[in-house]
Structure 1
Amino acid sequence: MTTTATAHLGDIESQFGGLRTEVREFLAGELASGGFVPDTDSWMTGFDAGFSTRVAERGWLGMTIPTEYGGHGRSPLERFVVNEEMLAHGAPVAAHWIADRQMAPGILANGSDEQKERYLPGIASGSSFFAIGMSEPDAGSDLAAVRARAVDHGDSWTINGTKVWTTGAHIAHAMVVLARTDGQPTDRQIGLSQFVVDLPHPDIEIRPLHSIDGQSHFNEVVFHDARVPASALLGIRGNGWSQVMSELAFERSGPERYLSTMPLLRAWATRLAETGATAGQRHTLGSLTARAWALRRMSLQVAAELSAGCKPDVLAAMVKDLGSTFEGDLVEAVRASSHIVVRRDGVDPLARMLAQSILHTPVFTLRGGTNEILRGIVARGLGVR
């Protein structure tokens, strides 16, 4: 890690304590007014366009986007502080999450001037939501096995194929799609390109996928000879794999990788403070808290390295692997230690939150790359054969 990154990491609280207080006061006001009800996994399922607008009005979307594109020119560490508080409070940030987390830096790094001017102001204002078209039905976590293909017609492209587990496609205004433009599927990472596709589109079918809790934030997206302009190409033709890997550092390393279930831990800790805790419960709470602090340190380090202009791909994969495992362990530990009768429709908010968390646990180690894939990335990055 660079000296600059280390320096940033050491004084984040002293630098941005005022910002953290401001965000906490905003969230306290939202809770008091009934603006939202805290929930786990809120960055995946908490779609609330009105809340996203209110966050944007405070200048907390597009924080790292330059001011010439409607952003605020602030640091990744400041953005980290805002997101950390949003997640810890279980705020409904899903509508803007993908656009602000991943697509804004991707477009900044690879987009044309036209794409930057077209999409970045909407991300910063909370009026433009994005989906990610990566995963495919027969590819699993093997992203290089994508079969979606884009054919060049000179002034346009035609895209055919299917994407799956596409979060938020039904509310998105645009989707960044990874497709093969050259070569064959056996060429793997070579010949892949990215496209920014506006939604809705007459030749793109969005089919909801219902999860076990009855929600439908996932989608299957089918491209039927979907024609897009030549200007939809994001970055360099054939450089899609490299671009996606850089974007995944943002996806895999953020605080959502260990804070998805933090509202549950906070609610349980509050309950124990009110009712009293056994020695075993205190031990469990302390152990979970210690693990969360360690993961926070790792995630902060990634944010600091991104702020210093580094590419912490391996560390990001480690954060995602350890963080997603922790999230599941947290749910099971609270379930086993709380003696709560879990009910999704009960009157006890803690019981409802625990029920929601249990139903979401299976996906923690799948989304953003399975843990097996991530451990392979870490091993290769460390030179392990």
Structure 2
Amino acid sequence: MTAVNTAPATDEAGLARLRAEVRAFLRAELDAGSFTPAPDNWMSGFDPAFSARLGASGWLGMTLPRRYGGHERSLPERFVVTEELLAHGAPVAAHWIADRQMAPGILANGTEEQKRRYLPGIAAGELYFAIGMSEPDAGSDLAAVRTRAVERPDGSWTISGTKVWTTGAHVAHAMVLLARTDGTAADRQTGLSQFLVDLDNPAIEVRPLRSIDGAAHFNEVVFHDAQVGADALLGDRGAGWAQVMSELAFERSGPERYLSTMPLLRAWAAELRRTGATEQQRTTLGALTARAWGLRRMSLAVTIELAAGRKPDVLAAMVKDLGSTFEGDVVEAIRACADSTPYRAGGDPFARMLATGILHTPAFTLRGGTNEILRGIVARGMGLR
């Protein structure tokens, strides 16, 4: 077990030491056979034991205050840890959503009771969240949600409606839910609120949705007049839209928006070193690597903006749009010029990794907001529409 280093890294040398620590941890995990690198493992690689080891190493809840189980480290430090986990294709799906956006969301908007209830478990890698945003007839148009939360005389709430494409809901302990508490769907952003809902509620039905690869990472979640307490409201009533937009900066700009297929790119580079590369293959590898480096700089810029307390919504949308497009381009470029046939089962490890990347590609430009929605956000933010 890696010892927890509680000293913040405030310079390039400190960040380099942290990166070396994470790489050593991952090498030890790989040598022990604890995981097999795979594309998109931040969404599909559910491994509670691995998440717990990360928590024990001090690499979850990194920016949280110590009184909530965190380590009071910086966002650039968290970026370093996240980047290494993704580049190595580590199985981080169990804790990913909780650590990425629910920890900062609860810290910013939650009551003291909510912070003490949820944050220590997130930092330990033992409490998992799902996101209840998209709906069957709304998709990426979050302002069109119809799930309703009605306040009862005693201050508790009754929730009815359906969420869909909810990653990890079948294994999560809780969900952050966006619901309409006031007005009608015609009011759009006005009248929406967020709730922290524990998923062991008998009136909440989770229906797994199988993907093309046969796995069930997504879910439909139905609220059959589910009763939740007054303490489930996150932040202020009616402030849900503004709170969601702040959280989406964390969701849309992180390294996972361009590093989902980095394990495949690294594996292909290793194949080319082993077998030799044609001029076309070298050119393709170089072009993809240059694009990845440019996206890294953009994602790091968002991290710096967030660390300064600003709200880089437009830049985050750009990172997600360009990054998710890049992820698919990596798979297609490698499939086009690699000397390997993809196999889901059998074949060599690289062939299986390529097959996984191909099957996951359709989701890249959908999750976290479709690219069309994101381009609208960018256009409005730049005054183009």
TM over 0.5: yes
Aligned to 1:200: 200
Aligned residues: 375
**Is residue 2:181 matched to residue 1:181?**
yes
Question: What is the correspondence of 1:1-385 to structure 2 with a 5 Å cutoff?
Answer: 13-153=12-152, 154-385=154-385
TM-aligned CA deviation for residue 310 of structure 1: 1.1
Q: Is the 8 A contact 1:100 1:123 kept in 2?
A: yes
Alpha-carbon distance in 1 for matches of 2:320, 2:79: 16
Cα separation, 1, equivalents of 2:323 and 2:305: 18
Give, in whole Å, the separation in 2 of the partners of 1:232 and 1:110: 12
Q: Check conservation: 1:96, 1:126, Cα contact below 8 A.
A: yes
Gaps of 5+ in 2: 1-9
Alpha-carbon distance in structure 1 between the residues aligned to 2:378 and 2:185: 25
The CA distance in 2 between the partners of 1:312 and 1:24, in whole Å, is: 30
Q: Aligned with 1:194: secondary structure?
A: strand
> Alpha-carbon deviation of 1:14?
3.2
In 2, the alpha carbon distance for the partners of 1:175 and 1:166 equals: 9
Deviations 1:63-120 (A, max 9, x none): 0111111100111110000000000000000000000001000001100011001000
Report deviation, 1:141. 1.2
Deviation per residue, 1:18-54 (Å, 9 max, x gap) = 0000000000000000010000000000000000000
- Contact preservation (8 Å) 1:12, 1:77: no
User: In 2, Cα distance between the equivalents of 1:189 and 1:251?
Assistant: 19
Could you tell me how far 1:199 is from its partner in structure 2? 1.8
Q: Which amino acid aligns with 1:323?
A: G
Deviation at 1:321, TM superposition (A): 0.3
Task: Using the TM superposition, give the Cα deviation of residue 12 of structure 1 relative to its aligned residue in structure 2, in angstroms.
Answer: 6.1
Contiguous gaps of at least 5 residues in structure 1: 1-10
Structure 1 distance, partners of 2:199, 2:192, is 22
Paired residue secondary structure (2:214): coil
Q: 1:139 is matched by which residue type in structure 2?
A: A
Structure 1 stretches (4+) deviating beyond 3 angstroms? 11-15
SS at structure 1 position matched to 2:316: helix
Equivalent residue letter for 1:56 = G
TM value normalised by structure 1: 0.96
Q: Distance in 1 between matches of 2:161 and 2:101?
A: 23
1:55 shift after superposition: 0.5
Deviations 1:215-271, CA, capped at 9 Å, x for gaps: 001100000010000010000000000000000000000000000000000000000
Identical-pair percentage: 74
Q: TM-score w.r.t. structure 2 length? A: 0.96
Q: Describe the superposition over 1:160-185 as per-residue Cα deviations: whole angstroms up to 9, x where unpaired.
A: 00000001111111100000000001
Task: Tell me the secondary structure at the aligned position of residue 159 of structure 1.
Answer: strand
Report how far residue 155 of structure 1 moved.
2.6
Is the Cα contact below 8 Å between 1:146 and 1:179 reproduced in 2? yes
Displacement of 1:13 in angstroms is 4.0
